[in-house]
Chains A and B, each alone.
Chain A
């Protein structure tokens, strides 16, 4: 059974940093691209960042470019999101999500339960 379990959320002051983790199990982690998607309370979905299976490619939404860094440790089946220079508008539930296919396609077939980041003084 595929499982994605995020952790690391919490309350951070503006300008602060935090690292999110996503522990994956039930599939060959290194074969799949992964992404972080966020959702502010009561709002829609926003793709934040993605990384290829072998970590050779990383991608970011304009809203987080230069502040967030995605990475993965395939030996630990874990995805990370390092978030720096946090702003109030980064407050959201953060989900990790697995791309459904290793090939050229669109769709995330498994999502974690989400971890809440609150940026506030």
Chain B
């Protein structure tokens, strides 16, 4: 099973700052990596698919990069609505795993 490790576990930033979230895979997943945002009491929301493609309706301040084992989600300038938990997800042989999540909190 491919393990995804997200860092940091918690990120404390202020609105307007840049956020950089990391996701590392235990072995290569090529570009089969997605990012999700989840707020309390809500279902996850797809932000990025296939490592670097923004999903429909996702603002341009969200960007994804990386391939192989190291991936990054960047939020260029944080809005108040962006404070949430973020998960990465990989796909290998039609099976998936999620990272443990990064909580982005207001400083």
Contacts and interface: CB of A to CB of B under 8 A. Distances in A.
A106 B96 CA distance: 9
Interface of B: 1, 29, 31-34, 36, 38, 43-46, 48-50, 55-56, 87, 89-91, 93-101
Interface majority SS on A: helix, strand, loop or mixed? loop
A47 B34 contact: no
Contact of B91 (A106, A109, A114): A106
A27 interface: no
Contacts of A46: 98
B96 to A, nearest CB: 4
Given A44-B101, A45-B36, A109-B49, 8 more contacts: A35-B96, A37-B44, A44-B100, A62-B1, A107-B49, A109-B56, A113-B43, A114-B43
A93 to B, nearest CB: 9
